[in-house]
Amino acid sequence: MCGIIGYTGKKNAAPILVEGLKKLEYRGYDSFGIATADGAISVIKKEGRISNHAGNAGTLKGTRGIGHTRWATHGIPNDKNAHPHTDCTNRIALVHNGIIENYAELKRELIKRGHVFRSDTDTEAIVHLVEEEYAKQHDLPEAVRAAVSRLKGSYALLVLASDEETIVAARMASPLVLGIGDAETFIASDITPMLEYTERVIFLDDGDIAAVTRDDVSIYHNCERVERPVELIDWSVEDGKKGGFAHYMVKEIYEQPQVFYNTIRGTDDASLPDYYRMKDPITIVACGSSYHAGMVFKYLLEECCQVPARLDYASEFRYYPSPASGLVIGITQSGETADTLVALRLAKAHNCHTLAITNVLGSTVTRLADTTFYMRAGPEISVAATKSFIAQLAVLMQIINKFCGNNHSDTLLDAHTAIEEVLLMDISETVALCENARSIFYVGRGPFYPVALEGALKMKEISYIHAEGYAAGELKHGPFALLSDKTPVIALCMPGETYDVMISNIKEMKARGSPVIAIGRNGDTNLPEICDVFIPLPGANIFTQILTATVVLQLIAYHTAETLGRDIDRPRNLAKSVTVE
Ligand code: G6P
């Protein structure tokens, strides 16, 4: 995790770095720091979030600098472990995103040679290695190349030296993108900090080392000079702003009708690899919300297309026998989740065809997978996934549609209108039941089981209320012991073959004293009778029912967290992009 940024140009670097780091905070936010070069290296770094208290970080002088926002791995979050880290001479500063697996061995070696360490991080070893190499040859790109050749693990790093115009960037398994402006160059973990300055970007590859000045970028790979394409990005600056909403999360929830529609349109003529027509095995790997989207897909694939699929947490994939052939789909909003990347690499090694579903142009997964389908969600800033989840469902539903000979095209093209209706609903009664809950159970069956899992995940992430998603039939196998008037149950009860058994389940839960909030089809006459709150959803088909139920659960989590005054966009202990295994 962690977000890094570099700037070199004609302007003062510090204010640009501070604003850029605020946009990268979704990658971690337990401490921050920046370093600028203005004759000497100046560093300001602190525990806490830059968006809460940047202090005087923006006042540093110098037209080139680097910055970092941290999600701690090695060393607790405090001032001394915050990046940038500097060498013994204070002439070199470095920021790093990733993990150096052999840092303990390197550290011992460096200490023996007289280096003094001032932090508990793995990163500090790198800056001392660069220091040694730079002393030998006074060539910063070459010194960084020699230093990184000693590293095992993952890194995106930026190196700034007091007597060099060049900032050096290096990448291995952590993202890094260059923004080419007008006499200024940006380097960052993603494109969001550079959106307001340029639309021309270069994505670095693993193993690349870039020497960056304000007017020039030279990229080296295996000591050879290489060219990487300049790509144009189509995310707008406005996409990255709150636009009058109280939080990014609610803004992103309200963008969902458009996001769903754009993604359906954007994937309409996506050509599916032959694998879709062959009935080869399909495996889905993902983490977090993306895993829940994968589970919805698995149910729909089996129900609508009679195609069986295997679904694994990406982090568990390697512990089961890998599929020997077929298609492996990696779903990852960021395109950078380490476990999903590892799973896809393993799948490739077993000769499977790999398909990535991602939101981020140029992200690592797009370089790894044989085929990529893009979601059209635009930048998602809030840590809790909302519009990216809906966009994943759009891509996955489009795949189902293709499988079924485009039979569902009209339904999918119209589904955004049902999402719009849900956004207007009043859910205050539900929020009143949830805000004082000790625990909340979310239950559903079939494809509504993963929707329940996703609803519970949203609630626990942002409200800090314990919430569990359960397959409705499982609740009586243990969790019933927890039911009481302080444990509301949110039941997804849609028409269809599971309806009657869901009604029985709801009655059982009511009989144990739990308030029940039922989410069902508009016009249902049973549910209002037996439940404390009934939320009627528009949507006459399985696709819109899944989408609208998802959105209602997002709203319930959001408004509960809002009532409790939680830090909705930056929940404690989390990061949006988990780039460590
Ligand atoms: C983190 C985020 C989740 C996300 C998961 C997978 O845990 O907080 O919101 O669902 O990573 O991320 P990905 O980028 O692979 O979809």
Q: What is the DSSP string of 393-439?
A: HHHHHHHHHHHTTTTTHHHHHHHHHHHHHHHT---HHHHHHHTT-SE
Q: Are residues 181 and 310 in the same domain?
A: no
Q: Are residues 395 and 534 in the same domain?
A: no
Residue (of 387, 368, 371) closest to 379 by Cα position: 387
- What is the 376 CA–ligand 1 centroid distance (Å)? 17
- Catalytic residue from among 2, 287, 304, 493: 2
Query: What gap in Å lies between CA 499 and CA 521, rounded to an integer?
Result: 11
Residue type present at position 466 = H
Residue (of 159, 182, 184) closest to 169 by Cα position: 159
Query: What gap in Å lies between CA 182 and CA 548, rounded to an integer?
Result: 45
> Which residues lie closer than 8 Å to 407 by C-beta, 6 or more apart?
401
- Report which protein residue has its CA nearest ligand 1's atom 13: 332
The residue among 422, 443, 468 that closes a domain is 422
- What is the 576 CA–ligand 1 centroid distance (Å)? 6
Q: What is the pLDDT of residue 312?
A: 96
Q: Are residues 99 and 224 in the same domain?
A: yes
Whether 352 is catalytic is: no
Q: What is the pTM of this model?
A: 0.84
Q: What is the pLDDT of residue 73?
A: 81
Q: In 3-state terms, what secondary structure has residue 174?
A: coil
Number of domains in the chain: 3
CB 200 within 8 A of CB 232: yes
Phi, psi for residue 206 in degrees, rounded to 5: -55, 135
Q: Are residues 436 and 380 in the same domain?
A: no
Tell me which DSSP letter residue 173 carries: B
> Which residues lie closer than 8 Å to 525 by C-beta, 6 or more apart?
none
Cα–Cα separations (whole angstroms), residue 200 to 22, 164, 219, 234 = 21, 25, 16, 10
> Which residues lie closer than 8 Å to 161 by C-beta, 6 or more apart?
37, 41, 91, 92, 93, 134, 140
Query: What gap in Å lies between CA 497 and CA 388, rounded to an integer?
Result: 30
Q: Are residues 353 and 493 in the same domain?
A: no
Strands of 197-348, DSSP E: 200-203, 208-212, 217-221, 224-226, 231-232, 282-286, 309-313, 327-331
List 85's β-bridge partners, or say none. Answer: 94
What CATH number is associated with residue 448? 3.40.50.10490
The residue among 210, 233, 256 that closes a domain is 233
Whether 304 is catalytic is: no
Q: Are residues 401 and 513 in the same domain?
A: no
- Report which protein residue has its CA nearest ligand 1's atom 4: 288
- What is the 531 CA–ligand 1 centroid distance (Å)? 33
- Report which protein residue has its CA nearest ligand 1's atom 15: 332
Q: In 3-state terms, what secondary structure has residue 105?
A: helix
Q: Are residues 159 and 101 in the same domain?
A: yes
Query: What gap in Å lies between CA 144 and CA 51, rounded to an integer?
Result: 31
Range of the domain at 115: 3-233
For the chain, give percent helix, strand, coil, nearest 5: 40, 25, 40
- What is the 433 CA–ligand 1 centroid distance (Å)? 28
pLDDT digits (tens, 9 = 90+) for 481-532: 899 999 999 999 999 999 999 999 999 999 999 999 999 999 999 999 999 9
Q: Are residues 414 and 434 in the same domain?
A: no
Q: Are residues 223 and 255 in the same domain?
A: no
Q: Are residues 171 and 59 in the same domain?
A: yes
Q: What is the pLDDT of residue 174?
A: 87
Integer-rounded Cα Rg, in Å, for the chain is 25
What CATH number is associated with residue 66? 3.60.20.10
- Report which protein residue has its CA nearest ligand 1's atom 5: 288
Q: Are residues 444 and 412 in the same domain?
A: no
Q: What is the pLDDT of residue 278?
A: 57
Tell me which DSSP letter residue 323 carries: P
Question: How is residue 95 written in tokens?
Answer: 């920021």
The residue among 364, 387, 422 that closes a domain is 422
Give 464: exposed, middle or buried? Use CB within 10 Å, 0-12, 13-18, 19+: middle
Tell me which DSSP letter residue 193 carries: G
Q: Over its length of 581 residues, how does the chain's per-residue pLDDT go in tens digits?
A: 789 999 999 999 999 999 999 989 888 888 999 999 998 999 999 999 888 888 888 899 999 999 999 988 888 888 899 999 999 999 999 999 998 999 999 999 999 999 999 999 999 999 999 999 999 989 999 999 999 999 999 999 999 999 999 999 999 988 899 999 999 999 999 998 999 999 999 999 999 999 999 999 999 999 999 999 999 988 877 777 777 899 999 999 999 999 999 999 999 887 666 655 556 789 999 999 999 999 999 999 999 988 889 999 999 998 888 877 789 999 999 999 999 999 999 999 998 999 999 999 888 899 899 999 999 999 899 999 999 999 999 999 999 998 888 899 999 999 999 999 999 999 999 999 999 999 999 999 999 999 999 999 999 999 999 999 999 999 889 888 899 999 999 999 999 999 999 999 999 999 999 999 999 999 999 999 999 999 999 978 999 999 999 999 999 999 999 999 999 999 988 888 777 77
Residue (of 241, 197, 257, 189) closest to 569 by Cα position: 241
CB 517 within 8 A of CB 432: no
Q: Are residues 136 and 70 in the same domain?
A: yes
Cis-peptide into 84, omega within 30 deg: yes
Question: How is residue 441 written in tokens?
Answer: 């159970």
Q: What is the pLDDT of residue 216?
A: 95
- What is the 383 CA–ligand 1 centroid distance (Å)? 8
CA atoms within 13 A on the CB side of 197: 25
- Catalytic residue from among 387, 402, 458, 576: 576
Question: How is residue 16 written in tokens?
Answer: 């640009």
Residue type present at position 89 = T
Please list every protein residue whose CB sits less than 6 Å from any atom of ligand 1: 287-290, 332-334, 337, 340, 383, 385, 574, 576-578
Q: Which of 284, 337, 381 for mutating ligand 1's site (highest number of atoms within 8 Å of CB)?
A: 337
Query: What gap in Å lies between CA 372 and CA 357, rounded to an integer?
Result: 6
